[in-house]
Amino acid sequence: MKLALTLLLAACAAPPPAVPAPPDTCVMYQAPAKGPMEVERRTAGDKPVAVAELFIREARISGDAGFYTLADTALSCALARKPDDAAARRLQAHVWIQFHRFAEVEALAAPLAAAKDAIWLDHLLLGDARMEQGKLDGAAEAYQRAADLRPGLEVYDRVAWLRWLWGDVTGAVEMQTLAVQAGTPTDPEPFAWVLTRLGWLHALQGAPAPEIDAALRLLPDYRPALLARGRLRLAAGDSTAAADLRAVGPTVEAVWALSELDPTASVEGVKAQDPRGYAMWLTPRDPKRALEILNDEWAIRQDATTRMARAWAAQGAGDTSIDVSTEARAALATGIVEPRVLLIGARVLGDDTLRQRALAMGPGLLPSELLPPAAP
């Protein structure tokens, strides 16, 4: 009787919940898109690579990283249909760079670049992944291969940034100038980008930066240029900087700068957008928490900026497992001249020469960072 009752109860028990099927990316990417892209989406039809290109372009122009997520969905559909689609793989690598999946991009781009039919873009993507991880020599090798195959705006822009990371300011300006000369108003977003970068380099040298206004004439709402102009206005004590910085949107860099003028601007509220930048803002306030974030960042990119920021947070947190002096000097050994990195190095090492070098590039620091360090 007891056995029969047990069998009866088992038969009446509710079946286990069904495991939900994974979402169909080929359905998801075709979701209706209301707004300025609606007509373009309809024109692209059931072509996921074409739709992904639209989303990527919109992400670059608008500064809204959500479009990269939409592009990734479309590319997942394209690769589900055709796993060997090289064009989709290249776009996916570009999107994953935005998601800070640097090691995955390197693994994806390396075989593309090694193939006999490799194109310049394969080497460019490989260089991007390496550069973001602090592998500057490997990045230089990849960029040189890209330049050999097709020199142009995209390659010159990357090489300019690489030279900046090496501390070759003159070389960075020369290459960024070549990038601008290769630009054209018929393709406004890349042209606005390199104009903005050249203007910022000039501003850091204490020179006029008309290129930033030129970028905004091309694209009046272009967020990188608005950020650069806002930073320049902030450095000049111009309160109209706030309007530019608000127009940039919810990025750590813009909100951090805006907080110099508006105490209600919350960097905490945008921390997910840029964990490393948020951790650098957080270090003077909560170094232990900042160090936790930077340890996670260090696991995915071991570049000079992350190394220096991590050393500073470790110093503030009293973490003796990290040799902060050795780490700071290793970061500086790359030649990096980024003003905030130099300023942090000055704090970690107690080196006033580094601080003076940072202060000489005033627009690269916020007004509060230009103040003398607080007494210990």
Stretches in the chain below the pLDDT threshold 70: 1-45, 373-376
Q: Which long-range contacts (CB under 8 A, 24 or more apart) does 96-105 make?
A: 96/72, 97/125, 97/128, 97/129, 97/132, 98/59, 98/65, 98/68, 99/68, 99/72, 100/132, 100/300, 100/301, 101/300, 102/129, 102/132, 102/133, 102/300, 102/301, 103/129, 103/133, 103/300, 105/129
Q: Where are the domains of the chain?
A: 23-99, 221-264, 274-360
Question: Looking at residue 16, what is its pLDDT?
Answer: 55
Unique residue bearing structure tokens 């947070």:
313
The pLDDT of residue 150 is 96
Q: Are 101 and 88 in contact (CB under 8 A)?
A: no
pLDDT tens-digit readout, 108-163 = 999 999 999 999 999 999 999 999 999 999 999 999 999 999 999 999 999 999 99
Give the pLDDT score at 180: 98
pLDDT of residue 335: 97
In 3D, which of 248, 205, 207 has the Cα closest to residue 224? 248
Q: Measured between alpha carbons, how far is 65 from 342 in angstroms, rounded to an integer?
A: 29
The rounded distance, in Å, linking the Cα atoms of 307 and 138 is: 18
Among 142, 155, 218, residue whose Cα is nearest residue 187: 218
Looking at residue 55, its pLDDT comes to 87
* pLDDT value of residue 194: 98
What's the predicted TM-score (pTM) here? 0.87
> What is the spatial distance between Cα 329 and Cα 267, in angstroms, rounded to a whole number?
29
Q: How far is CA 315 from CA 1, 195, 217, 277, 362, in A?
A: 72, 38, 45, 17, 25
- Dist CA 127 CA 123 (whole Å): 6
Contacts of 297 (CB under 8 A, 6+ apart): 275, 276, 279, 306, 309, 310
